[in-house]
Amino acid sequence: MKSKVLTGLLICSMAVLSSSCSKDKVPLEGERIAVLQSKTVLTPDYAPGEVQIKLPKPKTNDEWSQKGGNSYHSMQHLMSSDKLKEKWSSSFGSGSSKRDFLIAEPVIAHNTVFAIDVNAVVSAFRIDNGKRLWKRKLKPLNSKDKDVAIKGAGIAVYGDRVYATTGFGGIFSIDVVNGKVVWKKYIGTPLRIAPTVGGGKIFVQTIDNMIMALDPKNGQEIWKHKSDVEATTFVGGANPTYSEELDVLLAAFNNGELRAFKASTGSPLWADYLVARKRTNSLSNINSIKANPVIDKDKVYALGNNSVLVAIDLRSGMRVWEREVGGTNQPWLAGNYLYVLTNDNDLFAVDKTNGKIIWNTNIPVATNIEDKVGVFVSGPVLTDNRLIVATSNGYAFSVSPYTGKILSFITLGEDVVLPPIVGHDTVIFTSSDAELIAFR
C-alpha cells in the first residue's frame, strides 16, 4: 500500500506544472515552451559582410585515394570547371535496397575511379570516359556469410593496391591494374567502415569498435585496440584519421568516443566524448560519430551526431572550442575556415580559430515539410570557389563559400546518397542505385 501511495504522489508532483491532481482542470496562463528542443538555431556571430573570407587558390588534385580524400581528411580548395557538364555515367553494380544500403564512397587514383557495391563487387573505370577496366567479386570465407547484408564496406588505394573492407569480415588487397586479389584476411567480425591507408599501414575498424593496424604487404596485424560498443548506432561510420607527420591516429567510435593513438605502436594518447550535455527528442540522441574527423597541423576538428562540434589540441587532447551542433558529414577545411553541414541541412562557415559562425544557409531540399521527411544532404566539397552539396532527392547545389548564397543548382536525375568526390578536375556523384555520374 505504501508503494502505491508514493507512486501516486510522484505522479501528482510531476503533473503539477500542467494540471492539478483533482478532477478539475486548471488552465495555465503564459507562453508554452517546449522542454526538449529538437533544433538549435545557428545564428551567425558576425554581421553580414563583417568578415571577409579569403581562401587558398584552387589546385588540381590527381588523387582522392580514400574516404575523405586523404588520410587526414583535408583537401582544401580543389580545381574543376566553373560550369559543370555531365560527361559520362557508369553502373558499378548493385545499389541500395530495403535490405542493403550503399555506404562505400568511390575513390580516385592512377587516372581511375574505383568503387565497391553492396555485394562486394569492386570495379575500376577510366576517369576520362567512364569505361570499365575490370571488376572483381570478393567472396566470404564461409558460405553462411553469403547472406550478410551490406557486403561492401569501403575501399582505399595505396601504391599499386586497392584495399577493400567487407561486411563479412574480409579485408582484401587487390592489384589496381588487373583486379586480381593479392592477399586476403578474414577477421571474423563485420566491417562497416572504409579503411584508412598511409605511413606503411592499413587501419581498419570493426562493427564492434575494434581498431587494427595491418601491414599492407601481407595483412599481418601490427596492433589493435578495443573500445566500448553503443547499442544504437548508424550504418557505417567515420573512417580513421591519420597524420604521418605527427604519428597520430584518430578513431571515432559509435559510442561517441574520439580516441587518439600513437599510430606506430597503438599506444592510447587521449580520449574525448562528443556527446551533448542536454537531451533532445530527435535522432540526434544517437551518440555515434559518423563524420570523419579532420586533422590540420596540431588541431583536430570533429563533429558528433549528438550536437557537438569541437576543435581539440592534437597533442594534449584539450578542447580549444566547441559549438552545439550535430551532423554526419565530414566538415570541409579550407584555409582558416570550416564548412559544416548539420543534421537540419544547415550549411555554415566557421572561423577555425575560435568556432564563431560567419554565415549560415539552409539547403532547400523541398518546398513543404512533408516532402522534407527522409531527404538528406551530403557534402560539402569545395571546388572552384563554390561549395557543392548533393541531396538524396536528386539535386546538387552550388553555394558561395564567401557569403553562403546559393548560386545555382542542377538536377541529377538520380538520388545521391554519398558526398561528391573530385579528381582530375572532375566531380563525381554516386547514386543510390550504384551509378557513377561524372561532371567536368
Consecutive H or E run containing 180: none
Identify the DSSP state of 13: H
Q: Compute the radius of gyration of the chain from its Cα atoms.
A: 23
- Beta-sheet strand order (sheet of 377-382): 377-382, 387-391, 395-399, 406-411
Helix ranges, 318-390 (H): 369-372
Give the distance between the most distant pair of CA atoms in the chain. 79
Q: At 283, phi and psi to the nearest 5?
A: -65, -10
Higher pLDDT, 385 or 226: 385
Quickly list DSSP for 392-427: TTSEEEEE-TTT--EEEEEE-SS-B-S--EEETTEE
Residue 231 has pLDDT above 70, yes or no: no
Residue 14 falls inside a structural domain: no
Residue 38 near residue 282 (C-beta atoms within 8 A):
yes
Q: What are the distances in angstroms from CA 313 to CA 11, 316, 318, 350, 413?
A: 47, 6, 5, 17, 43
Residue 21 falls inside a structural domain: no
Name every residue whose Cβ is closer than 8 Å to that of residue 170 and which is 6 or more positions away in sequence.
120, 138, 139, 140, 141, 184, 185, 186, 187, 191
**Predicted confidence (pLDDT) per residue in 210-229, tens digit:** 999 999 999 999 999 988 76
* pLDDT computed for residue 36 by the predictor: 39
What b/e sequence results for 410-430 when a residue is b if at least 16 CB atoms lie within 10 Å of its CB, and e otherwise? bebebbbbbbbbbbbbbbbbb
Identify the DSSP state of 328: S
Q: Which of 143-157, 243-257, 262-276, 310-324 has the weakest average pLDDT?
A: 143-157
Q: Give the residue numbers spanning the domain of 77.
A: 65-439
Residue 285 has pLDDT above 80, yes or no: no
Query: For the residues 201-209, what does the mean pLDDT come to?
Result: 94
Which pairs from 174-181 meet CB under 8 Å and 24+ separation? Answer: 174/122, 174/136, 176/109, 176/110, 176/112, 176/114, 176/124, 178/134, 179/122, 179/124, 179/133, 179/134, 179/135, 179/136, 180/136, 181/136, 181/138
Residue 67 has pLDDT above 60, yes or no: yes
CATH number of the domain within which 336 lies: 2.130.10.10
Query: For the residues 389-408, what does the mean pLDDT come to?
Result: 96
Residue 281 has pLDDT above 70, yes or no: no
Q: How many domains does the chain have?
A: 1
Residue 144 falls inside a structural domain: yes
At 236, is the pLDDT very low, low, confident or very high (cuts 50, 70, 90)?
low
The residue behind cell 562540434 is 309
Residue 136 falls inside a structural domain: yes
Q: Hey, how many other C-beta atoms are within 10 angstroms of the C-beta on 58?
A: 18
Peptide bond between residue 380 and the one before it cis (omega within 30 degrees of 0): yes
Name every residue whose Cβ is closer than 8 Å to that of residue 288 and which is 6 or more positions away in sequence.
230, 232, 233, 234, 237, 253, 254, 255, 256, 305
Residue 38 has pLDDT above 50, yes or no: no
CA distance 166 to 172: 8
How high does pLDDT run on average in the chain?
A: 87
Tell how far CA 294 is from the center of its chain.
Answer: 11
CA distance 107 to 154: 10
* pLDDT computed for residue 40 by the predictor: 56
Residue 313 has pLDDT above 50, yes or no: yes
CA distance 137 to 117: 10
Residue 1 falls inside a structural domain: no
Residue 279 has pLDDT above 60, yes or no: no
Residue 16 falls inside a structural domain: no
Q: Hey, how many other C-beta atoms are within 10 angstroms of the C-beta on 17?
A: 8
Residue 239 falls inside a structural domain: yes
Query: For the residues 345-371, what does the mean pLDDT come to?
Result: 90
Residue 3 falls inside a structural domain: no
Query: For the residues 148-153, what does the mean pLDDT come to?
Result: 86
* pLDDT computed for residue 31 by the predictor: 44
